[in-house]
Structures are given as structure tokens and as C-alpha cells.
């Protein structure tokens, strides 16, 4: 365990930034936190959650896949990828660290997505324990401990210090970069903070939420449940929940004519959109009820059935705070029987 005085935090950031691009949560003009590249004078946000998750670093909202250069009847395929460089994402919460496991199961299963795999290989994750969990947080429902945030380096912030522990070789290499600003320390302060965090989690409004009623093999039980009608009636199909979700992985692939050629790119898509997976034969899910059901059945039933029981939700609470009609996975779980008996 290493200890870094907060007085030296910016010096440590400067040392990291001299070796790697460094990204950390910073407050924007709207008062929300978002990941931005660190520069001198930048302030690490004290918000619990960023608006968008750090998923964007590994699975960007838009990215070029390849280009086509057309000359007469000749077509040249151009690889638009650039050589990846190591980079550091600082301040990742335990729920978002867990989301990478969900994404890895999708993008690193053979045949692996080489674009995603390259970013995962070069990304260094520095996590931070949640000292102020929000009322919308329910990560513990999915066996995520906010006091054990994992990542390549785990951090614990106190009033005057940052305690850091390397979990991987990449983490050890990163701590070596700032070794002149850190000192060896015991874990007494960290143990005290872990105890405090868990006491807070036990008092949160959603502390009793559990996915025990869901999981693989439950398709028949839930697919035709009558609750879907009332749950989906107010849904706008705006896709906000999917765009702030750290585990959603749907995307579309499109071609853009540049005038001198064609760029093929992919961009995030949403199962909540009426155009999602639309083909020449039409739309396979013609109603908002079907699209709404698909989103939550995938999170709670389909994904765990195909991934050894792992749910495709990490309880970050972003969908609770951002949905314009206040519909979210918690209401679905409660309505369909996922709430533990009091």
C-alpha cells in the first residue's frame, strides 16, 4: 500500500501525463462530471459518477473501421487504424470496472474484436472507492463491492491522502512512475474507509434489491409476463438509458461517402429505437413493448444465460437519474419479482 499526500496529487498527475495520456473525471459547464484529458490546472471532480461511463475509451461512440478508395472499377481497402498507445483512465468506480468484464465477454470472445482488444491491452485502469454512494446506487445487488474497486490500481481517498494499491503488472509500473511522491503505509485508514462505505451501502434505498429471481433459464417465465405492458407504456424510446449504460454494446455499421472515397464506421445503437436491426423484410420488434422487453430481458436473462450467470447490469444508477420518464431496471426488477422480502 502506497500513500500519496493530496498536496502532491497534481505533481503525481503531471508525472503520469508526461509518460501516458491521462484522463480523469472533471466538472463540465453543466455541473456534471465527464472524462477529459488532464492538463495543468485541471481539477479532479468529486462527483460519484460521470454522466457517461468510461466504456467510451474502449468502445467509442463512433469509430472509423476502414476506408475504401474508388478509382474506376478498382477499389482499394485502407486500414484506418493507428498504432495504439498506452493510456491511463483515473477515477473509475467499482461498478464501471465490473462493466469491462461484461464488455470483454462480448468483444474478446473469439473471433475477438481487434479494435476493442487493442484498447483494452493499452488501457491502464485506476479505480477509486466510493466514499459517497448515491441513493440511486445498487451495485451490491450484483455482488459488486464499492469498497473493493479493483482495476490495475485501487485507490482510497481520505481528507488529506490518497492510498494506492497495485493489482496488476501494469498497475505496478504506473505506481513506479510516481514513486517519488508516495511512501509505504499500512492499511488502517483504508480498512476504516471500507467499513464506512459498507455501512452507507446498507442504508441506501435500494439496499434490499436482488436479482435472485432472474438469470439464465427464465425466458419462459418472464417473456409473456403481463407487467411488460404497464411498464413500457410511458417509454419514449429515446435511448438515453442505453447511451449512459456502461454495459450496453449494440452498434450499427454505416458507410459515409466523402467525395473521394468511402469511410466505413460504427456507432452506438439502441435496442429501444424503432429502426434497430430493421431489415428489408421490416422490423422484427414492431412495438415499443417488444423493444422495452428486449432491453431488460437481455440484462437480466439472456446475457447471464450465455455468460455463466453474470448479469449485464452493474448497478451504477445512471439510468435511474437520466431517464426522462423515470423508468428503469430497478422498477422492472421489482415489478417482476426481483425485490427481496422485507
C-alpha–C-alpha distance, residues 215 and 302, integer Å:
8
Q: What is the pLDDT of residues 271-310, one digit of tens each?
A: 999 888 777 777 778 889 999 999 999 999 999 999 999 9
CB 162 within 8 A of CB 183: no
Q: What percent of the chain has pLDDT above 70?
A: 98
The pLDDT assigned to 2 comes to: 96
The per-residue pLDDT of the chain, averaged, comes to 93
pLDDT (mean) for 44-63: 95
pLDDT (mean) for 208-212: 94
HSE-CB of 141 using CA atoms within 13 angstroms:
30
pLDDT (mean) for 122-133: 96
Question: How deeply is 283 buried, as exposed, middle or buried, from its count of CB atoms within 10 A (0-12, 13-18, 19+)?
Answer: middle
The pLDDT assigned to 339 comes to: 43
Q: What values do phi and psi take at 167, rounded to 5?
A: -110, -15
Q: E-strand spans in the chain?
A: 2-5, 22-27, 33-37, 62-71, 74-78, 87-92, 123-128, 153-157, 161-166, 182-184, 251-257, 261-268
The pLDDT assigned to 75 comes to: 86
Q: What is the pLDDT of residues 300-321, one digit of tens each?
A: 999 999 999 999 999 999 999 9
CA angle 329, 310, 212 (to 5 degrees): 60
CB 103 within 8 A of CB 55: yes
pLDDT (mean) for 93-111: 97
C-alpha–C-alpha distance, residues 168 and 112, integer Å:
22
Q: What values do phi and psi take at 203, rounded to 5?
A: -100, -5
pLDDT (mean) for 237-262: 92
pLDDT (mean) for 96-100: 98
C-alpha–C-alpha distance, residues 339 and 332, integer Å:
10
C-alpha–C-alpha distance, residues 114 and 83, integer Å:
12
Confidence class for position 181, pLDDT limits 50, 70, 90: very high
pLDDT (mean) for 235-247: 94
C-alpha–C-alpha distance, residues 238 and 324, integer Å:
9
CA angle 50, 146, 178 (to 5 degrees): 75
For the cut 60, the answer to whether the pLDDT of residue 53 exceeds it is yes
User: Grid coordinates 493507428 are at which residue?
Assistant: 82
C-alpha–C-alpha distance, residues 44 and 304, integer Å:
35
Confidence class for position 342, pLDDT limits 50, 70, 90: very low
pLDDT (mean) for 107-129: 96
Confidence class for position 72, pLDDT limits 50, 70, 90: confident
For the cut 80, the answer to whether the pLDDT of residue 198 exceeds it is yes
119 CA to centre of own chain: 14
Task: List the grid coordinates of 214.
Answer: 432472474
C-alpha–C-alpha distance, residues 273 and 337, integer Å:
27
Amino acid at each position: 500500500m502506497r500513500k500519496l499526500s493530496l498536496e502532491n496529487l497534481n505533481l503525481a498527475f503531471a508525472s503520469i501525463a508526461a509518460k501516458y495520456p491521462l484522463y480523469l473525471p472533471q466538472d463540465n459547464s453543466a455541473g456534471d462530471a465527464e472524462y477529459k484529458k488532464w492538463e495543468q490546472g485541471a481539477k479532479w471532480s468529486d462527483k460519484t459518477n460521470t454522466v457517461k461511463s468510461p466504456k467510451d475509451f474502449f468502445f467509442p461512440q463512433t469509430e472509423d473501421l476502414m476506408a475504401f478508395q474508388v478509382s474506376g472499377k478498382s477499389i482499394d481497402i485502407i486500414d484506418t487504424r493507428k498504432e495504439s498507445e498506452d493510456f491511463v483512465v483515473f477515477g473509475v468506480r467499482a461498478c464501471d470496472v465490473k462493466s469491462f468484464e461484461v464488455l470483454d465477454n462480448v468483444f474478446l470472445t473469439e473471433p475477438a474484436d481487434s479494435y476493442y482488444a487493442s484498447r483494452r491491452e493499452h488501457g491502464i485502469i485506476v479505480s477509486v472507492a466510493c466514499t459517497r454512494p448515491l441513493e440511486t446506487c445498487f451495485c451490491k445487488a450484483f455482488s459488486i463491492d464499492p469498497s473493493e474497486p479493483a482495476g490495475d490500481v485501487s485507490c482510497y481517498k481520505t481528507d488529506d491522502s490518497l492510498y494506492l494499491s497495485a493489482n496488476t503488472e501494469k498497475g505496478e509500473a504506473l505506481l513506479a512512475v510516481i514513486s517519488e511522491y508516495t511512501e509505504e503505509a499500512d492499511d488502517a485508514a483504508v480498512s476504516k474507509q471500507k467499513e464506512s462505505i459498507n455501512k452507507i451501502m446498507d442504508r441506501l434505498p435500494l439496499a434490499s434489491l436482488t436479482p435472485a429471481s432472474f438469470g439464465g433459464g427464465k425466458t419462459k417465465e418472464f417473456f409473456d409476463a403481463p407487467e411488460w405492458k404497464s411498464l413500457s407504456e410511458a417509454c419514449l424510446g429515446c435511448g438515453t438509458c442505453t447511451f449512459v449504460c456502461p454495459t450496453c454494446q449494440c452498434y450499427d455499421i454505416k458507410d459515409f461517402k466523402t467525395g473521394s472515397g468511402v469511410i466505413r464506421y460504427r456507432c452506438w445503437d439502441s435496442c429501444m429505437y424503432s429502426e434497430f436491426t430493421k431489415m428489408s423484410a421490416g422490423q422484427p420488434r414492431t412495438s415499443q413493448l417488444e423493444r422495452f422487453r428486449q432491453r431488460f430481458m437481455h440484462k437480466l436473462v439472456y446475457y447471464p444465460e450465455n455468460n455463466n450467470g453474470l448479469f449485464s447490469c452493474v448497478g451504477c444508477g445512471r439510468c435511474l437519474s437520466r431517464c426522462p420518464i423515470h423508468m428503469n431496471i430497478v422498477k422492472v426488477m421489482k415489478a417482476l419479482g426481483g425485490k427481496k422480502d422485507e
